[in-house]
Amino acid sequence: MMAGVRGKSTDSCPLCGGAVFPWIGVPDVVSEATVGLPSPVDPYDPAGGGDARLVDRCDRCGVGIERSPEPVDLAAELERIEAEGPEGTRTFAAPNRASWQGSLGGDGWAALAEWQGRLLLTPRALGLLVELNGLHPEEAAFPPAGPNQRWLWQSILNGITLHHNFFSEFRAGRLRMGNARSPVAFAADMVASVLATPFVLLISVPLEAVAALAGRGGRMVVRASASSGERVADLDDELGKLAGAIEVR
């Protein structure tokens, strides 16, 4: 159990400077103490709950910010979400806190179990993060397929199972009958997940596809290029190299 507040709330958003307020407590996963339903951690009174990542929310750009005594490392946050993309650009992909599934799941949103870093981004927050790292972002895209479909499916199942992210944790090997809430709860969740999955998919697949079209998909992808200043500097370097080659000749 946590003896006190883990870290401290930031005074202002590191991305836009907006005011931040307590939002949710995300229970730590992958331990016997936290397998099961999310711990009832009150972000206004964190000492009264279990071990959790305490998260504040900016009222301006909407970003979720994990509390910590250290300042947010914006360069590390951007590097952490970099994905493969076309040459000449950099591509970043992250769960979308402003998505329909994020609103539906709340602190039971399945994507939170895979969230890395300290910033839980929205489209606006991701654009700001890219800009603050000296890059020029394109408009965010929302793929209708990918891990976001799995996140929504699991988030809906979380509403009927006794274990949080039961099927995902079971497939990953982190949840077994030996560390479950009880053998009966484990068996009940296995049966419920198997029987409910076909019906859940009938809802979750088209719902996430529509959300993506509406700009509220669970996963967002942004491509970015060097800022205009960096492009000018690169051009100057190339011109300098060309001039040097001409002089040599």
User: 2-20: per-residue pLDDT in tens?
Assistant: 333 445 566 799 999 999 9
Specify the pLDDT at position 108: 86
User: Phi-psi region for residue 7, left (φ > 0), alpha (ψ -120 to 50) or beta?
Assistant: left
Is residue 34 over pLDDT 60? no
Specify the pLDDT at position 19: 95
Q: Are 163 and 191 in contact (CB under 8 A)?
A: no
Is residue 235 over pLDDT 60? no
Specify the pLDDT at position 244: 55
pLDDT of 180-215, one tens digit each? 999 999 999 999 999 999 999 999 999 999 999 999
Specify the pLDDT at position 8: 59
Specify the pLDDT at position 114: 87
- Neighbour count for residue 32 (Cβ, 10 Å): 11
Query: Where residue 37 falls among pLDDT bands split at 50, 70, 90?
Result: very low
Least confident of 16-20, 104-108, 160-164: 104-108
- Domain carrying residue 183: 72-248
- The answer to whether residue 95 sits within a structural domain is yes
- The answer to whether residue 219 sits within a structural domain is yes
User: What span, in angstroms and rounded, lies between the C-alpha atoms of 128 and 100?
Assistant: 21
- The answer to whether residue 25 sits within a structural domain is no
- The answer to whether residue 206 sits within a structural domain is yes
Is residue 157 over pLDDT 70? yes
For the four alpha carbons of 237, 238, 244 and 247, in that order, the dihedral sign comes to negative
- Please provide the average confidence, as pLDDT, over all residues in the chain: 84
pTM beyond 0.75: the answer is: yes
* Structural domain count, the chain: 1
